[in-house]
Structure 1
Amino acid sequence: MKLKIFTLAFAVMALYSCGPTQNKEKNNTTNATNDSAITEAQWVLQQLEGEDIDPSKNGKLISFTLNTKDNKVTGYAGCNSFFGNYTLGAGNRISFSTLGLTKMACSEDDFKESELMNVLDMTDNYRINGNQLELNVGKRAPLAIFKKVDKNAEPIVEKYWKLKTLEGKDVKMSKNQEKEIYFTLKMNENRVVGFAGCNGMSGTYKLEERNRISFSQMATTMMACPDLDVNEAEFLKVFELTDNYTINGDTLSLNVGRRAPLAVFEAVYL
């Protein structure tokens, strides 16, 4: 009889001891999944304290990445790079510590880096909604909102592309030309901005798989232009015809089908 009671007690203890262990393992799996949603991705700034931000500064994106290997955070604040440590906890808790900046001299027009660094210092929790990340303190409105970007994808966006050749002919800046011909693809609302030789230009773009690209609603300002080496109408025609692109290092070609490039551009890092 004593043997039966002892066996039953042992079985009950074993059952209870297994339960919490399984729950703990399940919780650990959940936390790991949550952690992986925020780490090893480039988070590009979209809003800071409720204000929309253009993340492209000096040819780079205001952004950060959480590296799981050593729990380090690295990023770009608009003029200087920053670095430090981060800690993740249950319930989407996050904190940043020992943050430092490089010591580049920044112009007054540059993004106020101290505001971003202050937000990181205050943050104690985060929320992910699709490809957006909110950094918060307590239950307040988000301190900052970031957009997830694949670090290896879309190398064409947020770069200053200076025109080098048009229909196979080298392009040089005219003496009476205000600035060089260029364009940039902005992440915000998929906008195109640039300069066509005399007039500013704008429009929208769409990127698809296999380096497919299309431009629409391309328009220019209405300045009266002196004689230029580059015909603006011919340059704008490139965007109308283009259906794909190729990138080789800092060289971009806009193409139609498999023809020779309509135009070739060079990335300039300001």
Structure 2
Amino acid sequence: MKLKIFTLALAAMSLYSCGPSQDKESNDKTTEMNDSAITETQWVLEQLEGEKIEASQNGKLISFTLNTEENRVTGYAGCNSFFGSYELKAGNRLSFSTLGLTRMACPEGAFNESELMKVLDMTDNYRINGDQLELNVGKRAPLAIFKKVDKNAEPIVEKYWKLKTLEGQPVKMSKNQEKEIYFTLKMNENRVVGFAGCNGMSGTYKLEEGNRISFSQMATTMMACPDVDVNEADFLKVFELTDNYTINGDTLSLNVGRRAPLAVFEAVYL
């Protein structure tokens, strides 16, 4: 009987001693997987302190990437680029340090970069939920929420497309024109935003296989327009007719069927 009791006690001690080691190994694997999931990925800002953010600023996305080489972080804060270092620890711990900004002169009313930099400075942990990344401090509500950029995303989206030709005719900006004619396809809710020559414009779009594209609910503001070289109605007609597009480098053509392009645009990187 004593031998049986000793054997059972020894088995219990063996199980107890193995338990923590196995848990630690499991935790280490989880941490390693999480670290891999957050690094070498572009994270685009969606929310800051609970407020939805327009990520596209000046033709670029407010975002950051954690580069595993030398633990460097690089990103765009809305007007200036930023850079620095980061540290990842077990338990989804994350901290940023020695963050610096370039010193570009930012336009009035631009996104408040200091708010984003403050969030990065406060962050001490993170959480990944699907394709979203939450930056947190303690157990508070997320300081900021970012979305993972799909590396296979369509090259037409999130770019500033400046009009070059309309129905084969070159387009130049008039002296009395507020700004150049352009449009951008936003990933957020598949929205279209742009400028038609005098009025701002907006709407929605849909992308399908084979470079198929369609626009809907296109509308403009109701400003009284001076004489400009481009008839806004002609420009908006392009979006009504377009059913496909082609991209060659930084040149985009909106087409209907196999006709000559309705309009040709150039990607501008501000």
Q: Given the superposition, is the C-alpha separation of residues 232 and 128 from structure 1 closer, same or farther in structure 2, using an over 3 Å criterion?
A: same
- For residues 36 and 179 of structure 2, the distance between their equivalents in structure 1, rounded to whole angstroms, comes to 45
CA contact (8 A) 1:65 1:75 kept: yes
> Paired residue for 1:150?
150
CA contact (8 A) 1:39 1:66 kept: yes
Pair 1:131-2:100 in alignment = no
Q: CA deviation at 1:19?
A: 6.5
Q: CA deviation at 1:99?
A: 1.4
Q: CA deviation at 1:62?
A: 0.9
Give the percent of matched residue pairs that are identical in Structure 1 and Structure 2: 86
Q: CA deviation at 1:83?
A: 1.2
Q: Given the superposition, is the C-alpha separation of residues 181 and 106 from structure 1 closer, same or farther in structure 2, using an over 3 Å criterion?
A: closer
SS at match of 2:35: helix
SS at match of 1:163: strand
- For residues 167 and 111 of structure 1, the distance between their equivalents in structure 2, rounded to whole angstroms, comes to 36
* Deviation string, structure 1 residues 141-199 (Cα, Å, up to 9, x no partner): 11111121124533323322111011222122334444322112223322211122233
Q: Which runs of 5+ in 1 are unaligned?
A: 1-9
> Paired residue for 1:7?
none
Q: Which runs of 5+ in 2 are unaligned?
A: 1-9
1:127-206 to structure 2, matched below 5 A, reads 127-151=127-151, 153-206=153-206
CA contact (8 A) 1:41 1:150 kept: no
- For residues 110 and 225 of structure 1, the distance between their equivalents in structure 2, rounded to whole angstroms, comes to 26
* TM-score, reference length from structure 1: 0.84
Letter in 2 for 1:188: N
* Deviation string, structure 1 residues 220-245 (Cα, Å, up to 9, x no partner): 22344455433322221211222332
- For residues 34 and 122 of structure 1, the distance between their equivalents in structure 2, rounded to whole angstroms, comes to 20
Letter in 1 for 2:126: Y
Pair 1:33-2:25 in alignment = no
> Paired residue for 1:111?
111
* Deviation string, structure 1 residues 129-150 (Cα, Å, up to 9, x no partner): 2222111101111111112112
- For residues 36 and 256 of structure 2, the distance between their equivalents in structure 1, rounded to whole angstroms, comes to 39
Pair 1:232-2:232 in alignment = yes
SS at match of 1:70: helix
Q: CA deviation at 1:117?
A: 1.1
CA RMSD, aligned part only?
Answer: 2.8
Q: Given the superposition, is the C-alpha separation of residues 97 and 176 from structure 1 closer, same or farther in structure 2, using an over 3 Å criterion?
A: closer
